[in-house]
Structure 1
Amino acid sequence: MSEAVFRIPETIREDTGKFKKNLKQFLAGDLSAERFKGYRVPMGIYGQRGDFKEEKYMVRVRIPGGFLTEKQFRLLAELSRDYGAGYLHFTTRQDIQLHQIEIDESAEVLDKLLKAGLSPRGGGGNTVRNIMNSPTAGVDPAGRFDTTAHCLALSEYLLADRSSFNLPRKYKIAFSVSHQDQGLATINDLGFIASLQDGRRGFKVYAAGGMGNQPAVAFKLLDFVAENEIFAVAEAIKRLFDRYGDRNNRNQARLRFVRRRFGEAKFKELFLEYFEQVKAEAETGELKFTDLDYYKDKIESGKAAEVLNLNPLNGDLNYQEVIDLIQLLEKYDLSLRTTNRQGLLLRGVDSSQLEALKEDLAAVNQSLLDSDALSAVACKGASTCRLGLCHSPNLAEAIRENLLEIEQQKRDLLPQIYISGCPNSCGQHHIGKIGFEGKAKRENGRLIPYYSLLLGAEVSEENTQYAQKTVDLPAKRIPSFLVELAEKLAAAEDYSLERFNDYLETGGREAIIQLAQKYTEIPAYSKEADFYQDWGQNEDFSLAGRGPGECGTGVLEIVRLDLDQAEAAYEQGIAEEDSDSLYQAIIAAARSLLIVRGVDTEKDRVIIKEFKKKFIAEDWVAESKEELLEQALDYRLGDQEELLSLSSEIKDLIERLEDLFNSLNSSLEFTIKKVTAVEDAGDNDSAATDFVSKNSENDKAAAAEKENYKLKDLRGVQCPINFVKAKLFLEPLPAGEIVDFYLDEGEPIKNVPRSLENEDHEIIKNEKQPEGHYLLRVKKAAAN
């Protein structure tokens, strides 16, 4: 099929136009980077990590159900060549990513995508993400029916509604054609598995699953819904999620936490209430669903021919490889779908031409024909992702190189390996029979890239289970471990690849763990310095450059290690009256939270210097602790005899850092007050309490203003947090209430009034005060 089938909703075209206006403001300096981020991420545009002179961006293009035409495929390749890094990356959600895009050219990219029936809208942020479908839908002999039309129609329906882009967190949906669950319906927020009942097409419905933080397998919500009811189901779940999802704690915001909070029975009860409400609105004409028949008529029936999986290394193909592949599609009259394993599925292969096709494919890129054992699924990791800890693609390449050195018969006994560069599951390590989850550990006083080994996942209707964590392995040991594991499996009696999980259950798990433990030894840095580097890197492993994001689990583990070390050293110092241990307690404590401020160092003097700058100067730790740090340095230099007399100060420092650590949210921000913060005594609303100025004259002015109106002091609060706090302050107040806000000059006073006006609040006064800040007087809007 050469022409686009998916219909881009008009709202997406409108939102693309709004983005272009926001981009223009940002480039002109009239919109802050933080506020612009709030516009670009829901458009599927992410900042990239890397050694660039100027910041680069990734554009994640939605490919609903993996359904892609040759014309669209060619355009994506051309965009990567003309605007990006010259390659396409296929994701585990059937999207296609363009990397290293200049932000000032992003609008052109979006316009060209729209003309081809493509868009990245909703590729990021708290939105309905790309809806997945079994890649073999329509050609799978085990499939109950082709679910492609259903996937495309539901995508169109949800994307047309702007409420789909302002949810508590991401909302992921998937379709599968059979019990094999190739579309991963049982591990998504909402999953549909094709079913037939009395000759009627419909679906079994699964809900509230997901990987990442505290993963959960979806539970069966409904035994059967008719095929035209998928819209009402998805809309009901969306409304339930919108109402009950936790918008304050992003670590608990996904739909599976709503299920955990209420229990499955209550969750289902709430769903059914919304479900009936949505169906009633549809019957009365208040709600209109997409025409499912439109897509049924457009989707061609699959040919009675073979399929062929393509496994490009790390999910990447460069421009010329894509063009050569498109020529093969035309030559052999094939269609293709993107898969959820970072690859492509060629459909309509004539068995008599299979060998010739494989020869042509090998000439394009040999890795396309890699077996599952050689083609690990690996997220982008620290190579481009700001959340990544480890360089997962480089590990995948090292595994491939090592496995190629042993006999094919042996290496093909290994199942496909899934690798994530951090605890987020972009590499889907939770569903790998063998999976690796990136992390960092401190050994011999230095950080080392590590991975947790996971074993035993399975995905199938009513029998899905996630892999279980076993041993932590240093990154540099993993390829050798897998080579020996392949040898071990080859020697096992009655073993076959299809029976890998059976092997685990009959003693194999313990045998693999025992084997893995052989590979946990850490050499001294002086003997093997490159062991302390990640794969493909020439520098010692570090987390410097990693930015705050949705999940800080990997970083938090490092903080936890340092705090535990500080506590242990303190207890040892007290028990043994050992000042050396107390000194180590001070250094470990001071170092612990530096990593969340982007500082990673082993040098004591630098630790103390940066701690003063990042924590004492910014009032997160009491100013009195500066003297403690100076005395610690004096002790190290021999200018002070002991530290035992400072034990209570040391303990107090550790406890304060524990409190700060425990207050971190998923964006690595502290959520407790600074040591100099004083609650506004005149404000009894808990949502409105905030820091007040140290300047007594300003406090007097605030008190005078509060005689007439409520006051919210937002001085020192950066964009866009100041707007969020203003919005939360207004939320519980009655319509027509007048509130004064104090804001700093510059971006705060430029952005906040505009944002409040967009929420229909009335700006009554905007005045610069003698002290330099601004008074913004706002009248709360009437309820909609």
Structure 2
Amino acid sequence: MWGKKVMNMATSLVDKNEIFSFRESAELFLKGEMDQDTFKKIRLIQGVYVQRETNRYMLRVRIPWGGINSQQLERIADLTDIYSDSSCHITTRQNLQFYNMNLKQVCEMITYLSEVGITSREASGNVVRNIVSCHLSGVCQKECFDVTPYADFLTRFLIRRSEFQNLPRKFKISFSACQMDCGLTAIQDLGFIAVVQKGVRGFKVVVGGGLGAAPKTAQVLEEFIGLELLIPTVLAILSVFNKRGIRNNRLRARLKFLVEEIGIEEFKKSVFRVRDHLIKTETLPVLDYEEEAPSPSLNDVSYSIKEESPEFNRWFFSNCVLEKKNGTFAINIPVPLGEISSETLRKIAKIADHYSLGKIRTTNNQNLVIFGIKPFDLKSVYDLLLKAGLAMPCSSRLCDVTSCPGASTCPSAITNSKALTAELIRFFQNGGKSFQEIQASIKICGCPNSCGQHHTATLGLSGRMQLFKDKQVPSYELVLGGQIKDGFLKFAESACKIPSKRVVSAISRILHWYRREKQEDETLENFICRKGVYSFKDILESLIDIEHSPLAPEEYQDWGEDTDFQLKVKPSEC
């Protein structure tokens, strides 16, 4: 039976009793009265990970659909100054991460964040992780409808749901507002793509996608479901995964492997059987959300930038998007390395408060977006961002590099992807400045787990180790030609392995070759496709062949390190 139509769920993201209970568990662990394995289960469900360093912890907090406000940003800035090296990290899942804390500090930070409505609950562990969406949903001219209310609705419905607190493996859900799939549903366990069919709103449903060492594209479960089927469909899929998922092999425990093992048709039958039973036996909520009509019409809005500087013009055309309502703009704020300081957080909060009603979103390429900027305020906002060092004209450009933190903090990372990313950014700011505005992507991971989503990049890099004369060489696997846009997904193909200290030279060589030999208006993705991945090995031969191109002493060291590389990898808690 269908439930009552509701606008939102009463479920709060924050539970103070739960926070108190976690503090008690942490105290028992520190006293030696709780064993490590027991505490591990408790801390992971609260988003708390161990770092490479002994007795240092990382805290991940959920930012549902990337939505955050200026008050929350101010609180985060204050807390990072006290507890977390005065900075935080934006993840490709639109979360925030804080590093280098002891356990007592973690408990205090969770408590103080809860006071402004931020939770770390189920930011890690074998549960439904942060539910994400395309960062322009609600303002994008191309969208079918705003999906953020549904992402928020589902977040509140599923959080702390008892039957899904011990899934076979983590479970990731995403919403996209149109077929362009900016929410990246193609690489999720479960994805919902907005569709309007004969005037009725609903979703196309895809399942079984994922990255990691064995990337797979999500398959279509249903071409269309009405809004009333959202909750029963999610519950049915989770129930089937919970019951039939592979629990005896962690490496094959994600939903994509279950779908592969039993086949999509058998999976569909199982899901539909459970869903039919739920509809008949349970009263389930439905979100019926009506958007305001755009006003005024986009045709009534004009904005001239002819009188502005060339620098402003480049920033405007790269980073500003005309919203579908009111003739206002969304502004993308690139965040190098995904790392943002407390001082910068405060500046963005102040700008958002004054010009954007305090509305901010994190993005899946580790940036921030502010909304509702009036045309006549654009120059003022630009000047403030420029003064803060945040007006780089690189949205969706090659110089906007995505990266996981890598071995700087992560125990399961092979290489220091964060330090390599910093070197690449320096390259684009100096010798490679002329390549900055190429519309393509570089994504870097410190290991094959793909937290930095390297499989989807035009130029992707994944941390590896090579042996040469019994010495370890920090290296990267170079993958080429990945695309995920306009509803099309193509995973990048492996080209070669390159010593870490030669990666910047390899990227430079590829880009110079592209510039010399590209056809008119040919994109880098199309150039890679036309040339073929293996042809890139030829132009990189002298960098790849460490047998005949002797390694300098510093090439046995990773970026950011001053000693020879030694592989130090612990089991992943991801």
1:523-542 equivalences under 5 Å are: 528-542=552-566
Say whether 1:358 aligns with 2:382.
yes
User: 1:389-538 counterparts in 2 under 5 A?
Assistant: 389-406=414-431, 408-413=433-438, 415-460=440-485, 463-496=488-521, 499-507=523-531, 509-522=533-546, 528-538=552-562
Q: Is the 8 A contact 1:139 1:303 kept in 2?
A: no
Q: 1:8 to 1:296 in 2, by over 3 A?
A: farther
Letter in 1 for 2:344: E
Alignment of 1:196-211 (within 5 A): 196-211=196-211
Following the alignment from structure 2 to structure 1, what is the Cα–Cα distance between the partners of residues 325 and 63? 19
**Could you tell me which residue of structure 2 aligns to residue 216 of structure 1?**
216
Give 2:355's match in structure 1, choosing from 332, 347, 350.
332
Q: In structure 1, how many angstroms separate the alpha carbons of the residues matched to 2:253 and 2:501?
A: 35
The DSSP-based 3-state class of the residue aligned with 2:88 is: strand
CA deviation profile, 1:98-133 (whole Å, cap 9, x unmatched): 112220232222222222111111111101000011
Cα distance in 1 for residues equivalent to 2:281 and 2:185: 27
Q: Specify whether residues 428 and 124 from structure 1 end up closer, same or farther in structure 2 by C-alpha distance, changes over 3 A only.
A: same
Mapped contact 1:310–1:369 kept (Cα < 8 A): no
Q: Is it true that 1:549 corresponds to 2:561 in the alignment?
A: no
| Residue number among 307, 312, 315 corresponding to 2:335 in the alignment | 312
How far residue 486 of structure 1 moved from its aligned partner, in angstroms, is: 1.7
1:262 corresponds in structure 2 to: 262
Question: More relative contact order in 1 or in 2 (CA 8 Å, sep 6+)?
Answer: 2
Rounded to whole Å, the distance in 1 between the matches of 2:257 and 2:466 is 29
- CA change 1:550–1:404 in 2 (3 A) is same
Report the counterpart of residue 30 of structure 2 in structure 1.
27
**Contact 1:210/1:256 (8 A) holds in 2:** yes
> Aligned AA for 1:91?
T
* Matching residue's letter, 1:364: A
Distance between the aligned counterparts of 2:350 and 2:161, measured in 1?
38
- The equivalences for 1:558-573 within 5 A come to none
Q: Does 1:292 align with 2:287?
A: yes
Contact 1:12 1:160 in 2 (8 A): no
Structure whose CA Rg is larger:
1
The separation in 1 between residues aligned to 2:387 and 2:212, in whole angstroms, is 38
Question: Aligned partners of 1:20, 1:187: CA distance in 2, in Å?
Answer: 35
Shift of 1:369: 4.6
Distance 1:281 1:101, change over 3 A: farther
- The aligned counterpart of 1:148 is 148
Q: Partner of 1:451: helix, strand, or coil?
A: strand
Q: 1:16 to 1:281 in 2, by over 3 A?
A: farther
CA contact (8 A) 1:154 1:231 kept: yes
For 1:117 and 1:212, the matched residues in 2 are separated by 32
- Tell me which residue corresponds to 1:654: none
Q: Which amino acid aligns with 1:386?
A: P
Q: Conserved in 1, the CA contact under 8 Å of 2:94 and 2:362?
A: yes
Which secondary structure state, in structure 2, belongs to the residue aligned with residue 542 of structure 1? Answer: coil
Scaled by the length of structure 1, what TM-score is found? 0.65
| AA at the equivalent of 2:176 | S
Cα 1:508–1:243, aligned 2, differ >3 Å: closer, same or farther? Answer: same
Q: CA deviation at 1:376?
A: 0.9
The 5 Å alignment of 1:126-165 reads 126-165=126-165
Is the helix fraction higher in 1 or 2?
1
**Counterpart in 2 of 1:43?**
46
Q: Secondary structure at the match of 1:390?
A: coil
5+ residue gaps in structure 1? Answer: 552-784
Cα distance in 2 for residues equivalent to 1:21 and 1:373: 47
Q: Deviations over 1:417-443 (max 9, x none)?
A: 000100001010011111111111111
Separation in 1, partners of 2:382, 2:218? 38
Query: How far did residue 273 of structure 1 move?
Result: 1.0
- Using the TM superposition, give the Cα deviation of residue 491 of structure 1 relative to its aligned residue in structure 2, in angstroms: 1.7
Hey, what's the Cα distance between the residues in 2 that align with 1:204 and 1:351? 35
- Of all paired residues, the percent bearing the same amino acid is 29
Query: Amino acid of the residue matched to residue 322 of structure 1?
Result: L
Distance in structure 2 (CA, Å) of the matches to 1:414 and 1:11? 40
| Structure 2 SS opposite 1:346 | strand
Corresponding residue SS for 2:505: helix
Question: Counterparts of 1:509 and 1:257 in 2: how far apart (Å)?
Answer: 28
What secondary structure does 2:477 align onto? Answer: strand
Structure-1 separation of matches of 2:372 and 2:218 = 33
Distance 1:396 1:159, change over 3 A: same
8 A Cα contact 2:14 2:117, kept in partner: no
What is the deviation of 1:462? Answer: 5.2
Q: CA deviation at 1:65?
A: 0.2
CA 1:352/1:11 → structure 2, altered by over 3 Å: closer, same or farther? closer
Q: Which amino acid in structure 1 is aligned with residue 362 of structure 2?
A: T
- The residue type equivalent to 1:436 in the other structure is L
Question: Which letter does structure 2 place at the counterpart of 1:46?
Answer: Y
Pick from 383, 388, 405 the counterpart of residue 408 of structure 2.
383
Query: How big is each residue's C-alpha offset from its partner over 1:572-614, in whole Å with a ceiling of 9 and x where there is no partner?
Result: xxxxxxxxxxxxxxxxxxxxxxxxxxxxxxxxxxxxxxxxxxx
Given that 2:140 and 2:324 are in contact with CA atoms closer than 8 Å, whether structure 1 keeps it comes out as no
- CA distance in 1 between counterparts of 2:15 and 2:218 reads 30
- Deviation, 1:276, is 1.2
1-structure distance, mates of 2:139, 2:214: 35
CA distance in 2, matches of 1:124, 1:175: 19
User: Which residues in structure 2 correspond to 1:1-16 (within 5 Å)?
Assistant: 9=12, 12-16=15-19
**Structure 1 residue 70 corresponds to structure 2 residue 95:** no
What corresponds to 2:5 in structure 1?
none
Distance in 2 of aligned mates of 1:265 and 1:463: 23
CA distance in 2, matches of 1:148, 1:414: 27
SS where residue 336 of structure 1 aligns? Answer: strand
Cα distance in structure 2, aligned partners of 1:103 and 1:11? 20
Matched to 1:494, the amino acid is Q
Give the distance between the partners of 1:62 and 1:274, measured in 2 at CA. Answer: 29
**8 Å CA contact 1:208, 1:256 repeated in 2:** yes
Q: Does the Cα contact within 8 Å between 1:57 and 1:100 map onto a contact in 2?
A: yes
3-state SS of paired residue (2:543): coil
Deviation at 1:368, TM superposition (A): 5.3
Question: Residue deviations 1:557-580, cap 9 Å, x none?
Answer: xxxxxxxxxxxxxxxxxxxxxxxx
The letter for the 2-side match of 1:478 is V
Match for residue 341 of structure 1?
A: 365
Partner residue of 1:594? none
Deviations 1:269-293 (A, max 9, x none): 11111221222233xx3xx43x635
CA RMSD of aligned residues (A): 2.4
Aligned length: 535
**Secondary structure of the corresponding residue to residue 489 of structure 2:** coil
Q: Which amino acid aligns with 2:498?
A: L
Contact kept, 8 Å, 1:57 with 1:99, in 2: the verdict is yes
Distance 2:548 2:541 in 1: 18
User: Residues of 1 paired with 2:538 and 2:189: CA distance?
Assistant: 36
Q: Distance in 2 between matches of 1:494 and 1:406?
A: 23
User: What is the alpha-carbon distance in structure 2 between the residues aligned to residue 366 and residue 148 of structure 1?
Assistant: 26
Using a 3 Å threshold, how does the CA distance of structure 1 residues 337 and 380 change in structure 2: closer, same or farther? same
Residues 474 and 520 in structure 1, CA contact (< 8 A), matched pair in contact too: yes
* Aligned mates of 2:551, 2:428 — CA distance in 1: 26
**Distance in 1 between the 2:219 and 2:325 partners?**
31
Please give the alpha-carbon distance, in whole angstroms, between the structure 2 residues aligned to 1:10 and 1:393. 31
Taking the aligned partners of 1:417 and 1:527, their CA distance within structure 2 comes to 25
Q: Matches of 1:346 and 1:523 in 2, distance apart?
A: 50
